[in-house]
Copies of this chain bind each other. A is one copy, B any other.
C-alpha cells in the first residue's frame, strides 16, 4: 500500500513525494519556486497559489481560507493555496506554479532545498510554579527556582547567566512566583520572564553572503519559518568580492570594525524587519545561527581575516563557534548566543558546511557532487562514509564582472540565449521581460555554449566569425553582437568579445579542474556520480546543459543535476532548529578532507587541459561529443 502521493511540479519538472495527511507547501517550496513573501504555511498571506493540473481527486476539499484568496474563475481553473491543500490518498499529482507565485526574478533567492529536520532546538521554555519563601523555608530565590525546575521538569545541574540572576528577585515576585525559564541546552538559564510566556520562543538564521544577506525568523516550538527578510550586503561599498574586503580591513586598525559594523547593521535591520512582519519582539529571539564564507564569518565576528587571503591561507579557527549575541552586537535577547558551523578550510567555510547539511549529501549512500559557484567555488564530493573538498578560484565572471557587457542577475539582464545553427541569429530572454541592458552569468554561459555548439567558437576558445552579419571586429578582435543598439534598453549594443570567451574559459576551467581532481583523488568515475547539486544564486539559474557543453560541469545525465538554491540559508535554519544537526556537522567536518589545489603537482596540467571546450580529452565529454558530431553530420551530409 502506498502511503504517499507523487507530485510533479511544473514548470521546473521537479518530482517529489508527499506523505498522506500533509499539505504540498513544503514540496512546492523545496522546488525553489514559491514566493519568498509567505506566511509560513498558515493560509493567511495567499501567496502560495498553485494550479492543480492533474489528480485533484487525491486532495482535500477547498478550505475557507482558500475561498478568501481565490476568485470564482481561479477556482474553476484549478487554483489552490499549496499550504491549505492536503494529500488525502495516494496517486499522481501535477501542480503548476503560476508566474505570480514564482520567486521574483531579482535573484536574491532566499529559499534553498532543506533536509527535513526534527525540531530539537537549543532553546526551550519551562513554566514554573514556585512556592514562595516562609520563615520555615528561607531557601534563596535562585535555589528555589532550580528546585522547581528539577521537581516539575526533571532538569538538574542547571546554571543561570549573570543578567538573569540580577533580575531574578523582582521577576519571581512580579507574577506571584509563576515564571518562565528560558534554557539553553537544558543547562543554562539565559532569561527568566514573569508569568507564562511559553508561546513566544523564536530564533533567527542568517545567511551572510558576500553579495546578499538573507534572514529567517523561526518559531523554535515547531521549527516553522515565521517570516523572512533579505537585503544586499551593506559591505558592498567596501569591495564586491571577499579579497577586496579583506584588503580593506588591512588598511588601518579601524577598518575591520567598520566592516563588522556594516554587516551587523544589516543583520540587525533584517532581524527588526522579520520581527515586525511576524509581530515578534526582538527580545523573544533567543538563538541566532549565522552562516557565511570564511571571510564574511571572520568579519561578522570581528576576527581579523587577513591571513585567509595570504598563503597558506589558514582561517582563525575551524571549529564551530557559540558566542554571546550581545558581545557580537546583535539586537536580540540579552542571553542569546550566535552559533556558526565549523569550517573545513579557509576557502571552504561554514557556508559550504551548511550546503552539505542542507543537501543531506553527508547521509547519502551514493556519491554526490556539490558545487557552490561564486568568486570562489566550493566543490565537495563524497558520500556518507567520507568526503573531499576544494576551493576553485573561478573569479567573478559568473557574476558579470570582467565581462564587457556583464551585469548582475537583475532586471534588464539577458539570462538565456539561443543561437540558430543555420542563420547564427541569436534569441534571448531578459529578466523581467524588458529590453536588454547587459548579460548576466547564466546568459554568458548560454551564449558561449551556443556559439561553440553552432561553430562560432572553436574548441580552443577562438571565435570563428563565419561570415554572419552578427560579427564585426573591434581593435582587431572579433565581436559577436547579441543585441544591437535598437534592441537594447540603453541604445548601446550588447556584445560578446573574444576576451569574454577567454574569461569564461579560465573560470570554467578552474571549476572543472577542481572537480576533476577531487574525482581522481576520491577514485570515482563521472558515471558513478548519482547527483550533482548546484548551489548558490548562479547555480540556481545556470542551464546545466550549457554548463556541460562548455565543460564547466562533468558529463553526467541531465536528470542528475539538481538546483539546490540558497542552501547556506537552509543549512543555517537547520542548525537553528536542531542541535542534533550541529553535532552532525562536527562529524561532517571531521570526515571531509580538504585539498589545497595550489599545493598539488597535477593541478596546473589539469587546468590547462580544461581550458578547451569542453576539454582537451574529448572522451571525458561523450554526450557533448555525440551532440557536436550529430550536428556536424547534419551540416556536412
Contacts and interface: CB of A to CB of B under 8 A. Distances in A.
Contacts of A136: 599
Contacts of A139: 314, 318
B312 A141 contact: no
Interface string A306-321: 1100011111111101
Contact of A301 (B166, B307, B312): B166
What is the copy number of this chain in the assembly? 2
Contact of A143 (B133, B143, B318, B599): B318
B140 A318 contact: yes
A599 B169 CA distance: 22
Contacts of A72: none
Contacts of A317: 140-143, 165, 168
User: How extensive is the interface on chain A, given as a class?
Assistant: 35 or more
A1 interface: no
B135 A599 contact: yes
Given A135-B596, A136-B599, A314 B166 contact: no
Contact of A138 (B137, B141, B323, B596): B596
A486 B120 CA distance: 83
A307 B141 contact: yes
Nearest to A307: B169
Interface string A496-526: 0000000000000000000000000000000
A115 interface: no
B313 A166 contact: no
Contacts of A166: 301-304
B135 A304 contact: no
A582 to B, nearest CB: 15
Contacts of A302: 166
Interface string A285-316: 00000000000000001111011000111111
A356 to B, nearest CB: 18
A143 B319 contact: yes
A509 to B, nearest CB: 21
B596 A316 contact: no
B598 A135 contact: yes
A346 B316 contact: no
Contact of A345 (B138, B303, B311): B138
B345 A168 contact: no
A61 interface: no
A327 interface: yes
Interface string A154-172: 0000000010011011100
A508 to B, nearest CB: 25
A319 B168 CA distance: 14
A134 interface: yes
A176 to B, nearest CB: 15
Contacts of A162: 301, 323-324, 327-328
Contacts of A429: none
Contact of A140 (B138, B140, B301, B315): B315
A540 interface: no
16 contacts: A133-B312, A138-B346, A140-B317, A140-B346, A141-B314, A141-B316, A143-B318, A143-B319, A162-B324, A165-B303, A165-B316, A165-B317, A166-B301, A168-B303, A169-B306, A170-B304
Interface of A: 133-144, 162, 165-166, 168-170, 173, 301-304, 306-307, 311-319, 321, 323-324, 327-328, 343, 345-346, 594, 596, 598-599
Given A139-B314, A140-B317, 18 more contacts: A133-B312, A134-B312, A137-B312, A138-B312, A138-B313, A139-B318, A140-B315, A140-B318, A141-B315, A143-B317, A144-B314, A162-B328, A165-B316, A168-B316, A168-B317, A169-B303, A169-B307, A170-B304
Q: 4 shortest A-B CB distances, which residue pairs?
A: A142-B317, A140-B318, A135-B599, A162-B323
